[in-house]
Amino acid sequence: MMRRLLAVWHARNLEFIRDRATLIFTLLLPIGLVVGMGFVFGGPQRPLFKVGVVATQIDKQANPFLQERYVDFVPIASEAEGLPKITHQQIDLLVDLHGVPRYWVNTDAPKGYIVEKLLLAAAPGAQRQPVTGAAVRYVDWLFPGILGMNMMFSCLFGVGYVVLRYRKSGFLKRLHATPLTAFEFLTAQVLSRLCLILFVTLVLFVGVGSIIHFHSVGSVALLILIAVLGALSMIALGLTIAAGISSEELVGGILNLMTWPMMLVSGIWFSLEGSPRWVQWAAHIFPLTHLLDAARAVMLDGAGIAQIAPNLLYLAATALVFLTFGAWSFRWRVE
């Protein structure tokens, strides 16, 4: 079994590496995006106050402070969830209005200083909890998003279209006439794409990271684990989509249906902080959201495995479900 698997894996790797145009595009696109977006959105923060409120939803009647104009109040589930955001100046103030009002302010943040004055005017007895920490540059926040987006496209289109092309050209039918099993074929495709994605992501992480002076706070081993599980989940999703379909238009449509919502709501370009709860909930259907949440937690906040365990479990579970469904619905030939 291993010999057959390796034969298909090696051939697929050769095919990808020799396709120079695709290889160069795979590497250059994310570099261009990171550099371009960093340039466009870099520099000083926008003049908008953003205050995190420890609550499931904002009740403007709960405190006069919540009725302040020109302040964007966003619900935050817990103090633990809000503290990294105030530390990295992703929000300007974190308030907990249950019982005696408490608030956390980043003493290194000028906007925190101003919005603190607004709070104390409305709630004079609020207890101050100072924190410190440098602001996360947009480019640092964007970088994991771009890496994730590149992985998503490579996983979904790279695997889905390849399997479809093999099926339409009759190559799968030819393989079916050999002792190769569907499981061996699919595993070889998954492993081939996984190796290529990890390699490309590593090149981008080191290469682009050094250009933009990016420093990951957390464990590299944990990042590799996130990348492996995230890629497996999305490769399996691509295989599932292409497993039994023979129409390029239909596969293209479904892949677009998958990728565009992920592009918009998985947190590649901007945080979903402040967006409606249902949008945040819906975003967590997508593997990319969990990949990015976990990667940013490790890269920016130095999170450990316990903190990102739910994300890792979700990625592993979806990989398993998608692969099982893909193997079950796999077709060697055009019916």
Partner 1 sequence: MIPILEVRDLIKRYPNVNAVDGVSFSVPEGICFGLLGPNGAGKTTTIEVMEGILTPTAGQVLYRGETLGQRFREEAGILFQKTALQDFLTVRQTLTMFRGLYDRGLDVEEVIRLCALEKLAGRDNRKLSGGQQQRLLLAIALVNDPAILFLDEPTTGLDPQARRNFWELIQSIKARNKTIILTTHYMDEAELLCDDIAIMDGGHIIARGGPRQLLQEHFEEVLLELPRQDFPEAARHLSFKIIDSSDRVEIATQDVETALRTLLDAHVPLKNLRIRPPNLEDLFLELTGKELRT
Q: Is the Cβ of residue 6 or residue 28 nearer to partner 1 in the bound state?
A: 6
**Residue 59 binds partner 1 (CB under 8 A):** no
Count of residues in the chain: 335
Q: Is the Cβ of residue 35 or residue 182 nearer to partner 1 in the bound state?
A: 182
**Residue 248 binds partner 1 (CB under 8 A):** no
* Positions in 253-312 near partner 1 (CB under 8 A): none
**Residue 220 binds partner 1 (CB under 8 A):** no
**Residue 12 binds partner 1 (CB under 8 A):** yes
Taking CB under 8 A as the binding criterion, the range among 11-19, 41-49, 85-93, 313-321 that sits at the site for partner 1 is 11-19
**Residue 177 binds partner 1 (CB under 8 A):** yes
Q: Is the Cβ of residue 111 or residue 167 nearer to partner 1 in the bound state?
A: 167
Q: CB of residue 78 vs partner 1: minimum separation in angstroms?
A: 52
**Residue 170 binds partner 1 (CB under 8 A):** yes
Q: Is the Cβ of residue 76 or residue 180 nearer to partner 1 in the bound state?
A: 180
Q: Report the DSSP pairing between strands 127-131 and 49-54.
A: unpaired
Taking CB under 8 A as the binding criterion, the range among 41-49, 169-177, 208-216, 319-327 that sits at the site for partner 1 is 169-177
Phi and psi for 107 in degrees, rounded to 5?
A: -70, -10
Q: In what order do the strands lie in the sheet with 102-106?
A: 71-76, 49-54, 93-96, 102-106, 127-131
Say how far apart CA 240 and CA 251 lie, in whole Å.
10
Q: What angle do CA 125, 131, 134 make, to 5 degrees?
A: 140
**Residue 1 binds partner 1 (CB under 8 A):** no
Taking CB under 8 A as the binding criterion, the range among 166-174, 231-239, 241-249, 287-295 that sits at the site for partner 1 is 166-174
The one among 25, 39, 171, 260 contacting partner 1 by CB under 8 A: 171
Q: CB of residue 7 vs partner 1: minimum separation in angstroms?
A: 3
Nearest Cα to 314, choosing from 220, 199, 233?
Answer: 233
Q: Is 212 exposed, middle or buried (0-12, 13-18, 19+ CB in 10 A)?
A: middle
**Residue 183 binds partner 1 (CB under 8 A):** no
Q: Report the DSSP pairing between strands 93-96 and 102-106.
A: antiparallel
Q: Which tokens hold the place of 11?
A: 């051939």
The runs of H, that is alpha helices, within 126-181 are: 138-169, 171-176
Phi and psi for 129 in degrees, rounded to 5?
A: -125, 95
**Residue 193 binds partner 1 (CB under 8 A):** no
Nearest Cα to 111, choosing from 42, 50, 43?
Answer: 50
Residues lying near partner 1 in the complex (CB under 8 A) are found at 3-4, 6-8, 10-12, 14-15, 18-19, 169-171, 173-180, 333
